[in-house]
Structure 1
């Protein structure tokens, strides 16, 4: 029973999650200039090299087997070294890593090379970008509807072809992509999801408002698999398998201390905590203005009680407006390794770098603990 349950859970992550986003604007194609690095071509149907000019099926199979064996040996060593910390699956260009319910890609390329490819990726997926900040390493899509969730009954298939806009799921999604440059020349790529849904209220359900819904790790996994296919030249089926087989490593976070000594403790070192806090901030809707990995500081903007003050419908269609900027307060999220043990502490400071013990700081820590637990 446990084995069958596990298979079902793995399949539900990517295999049964379908997406079909159509942007309100026509996505423009992105041509790579000749002086920049070209995208990896699909070589699945390329003829094998043969010095004699004669190619045989048995020789080709032997060549592919030797290459596959060499690749598996090359990737086995780093995976075994970090087996107790994070699961690694992928190829020699891009691999998938996972910690808890968070996944990300690690690519052997610089952010400068990857950035135009990431923009092209989201345009091909049916999105337009509302945030494109290469300096901060963050891009964010518009709100969009997943049309694949609309039931395909006989009426929908018949009338929907003509009046497609008459059907709606009542849900909207947006995605944020964040890149982190590593000291070894690789780049980590994170995709975080944010969702909204229409909720009917009132005696006769006459009032409809947009409210946040929890982020969906399955949707994040789907787009990570697609991005792995694009960047690594991996077949779609293999990419989905790589994302699904990134084994879960349970991680925990706890709220500790009181007042000015309040903090979130994670049971992992600084490197893992730093990455996961960044993704948690993206998922929780914070605006990361800057970050200093050496000091372990994220500089963020946060609107206290933003849903109650402005209403999510307003934020849905005016994200990043001047009104929201005026209401937002600046904070510092500090991540540091604990003096003893393989743990880290996450604290909140005000814009001046002073310890913040206000109710807003408590709410920020609670949000982070929910995402990190």
Structure 2
């Protein structure tokens, strides 16, 4: 008994968490500090060439940031729909554009092939901005084999404007949803300076724009161009249209790089497609009143929502929240607040905003 007692007294120290024999050392790096040792460099050597190859990085403290000392966090939840790769023509007022379930560098060569198949030359391009300019076209009242000149002739006949030249502008840019692209079309009456022109807010003739968008959308849907990836198209740097980021106070926001009209339409459509219950709309004030079903956030419901990657599945109760759209330095920010205007829990807000981003179009 005496020998056993002595062993147990010594053994207690061996099982301590700070000892390497039986204790764990996997968390020791959390308390790591730089050794207070100064390297002495001889006078005949250059001290500037001596540097720490493995420095301890300085961690920038941010408001509301989370740390995970015990285990890695679960991945962020993702939602998806079955029609991610479909071709859709979107309309907002007089504006029309095509949404393609492919990346811009895959869409870029299809637009160029569309012009080539219709016998339309390319006068220039600015790849970083995603811009392609057609040659100047002069369409008369005669029969044409290609769909572009046919569309121009039909509209010009109705308007009696055969004496006016046309130039078609295309813009390929990132879509709101990840892995998607948008194609915008403009028609202008006069030849433009390809090096200095800004993207027109609207076409000279919106009817021609509508016809060309329909024809280009049909071309994408028919899959007439061979699948390819353009090296030049990879230069497109129009930036992400939608991203969940943190504001200065550490709260998540969904940044939409679009104007208010489109931001309002985008959020409204995303709320509808995600099956959230919108109880009231206040467009002038820029917010939606929404009741969140916890089963939607946890992916327990059937229907349009499909949970792809399981995130943290806290048991949320029913939540009445406000989804607000505020003007930002570039575009607009979408944030989630309580009915009284106070911030909601960060994790709940982030899940709602991620879901809105995935269902946006």
Which structure has more relative contact order (CA 8 Å, sep 6+)? It is: 2
Between Structure 1 and Structure 2, the one with more helix by share is: 1
Same fold by TM-score greater than 0.5: no
Computing the radius of gyration from Cα coordinates, the structure with the larger value is 2
TM-score (norm 1): 0.33
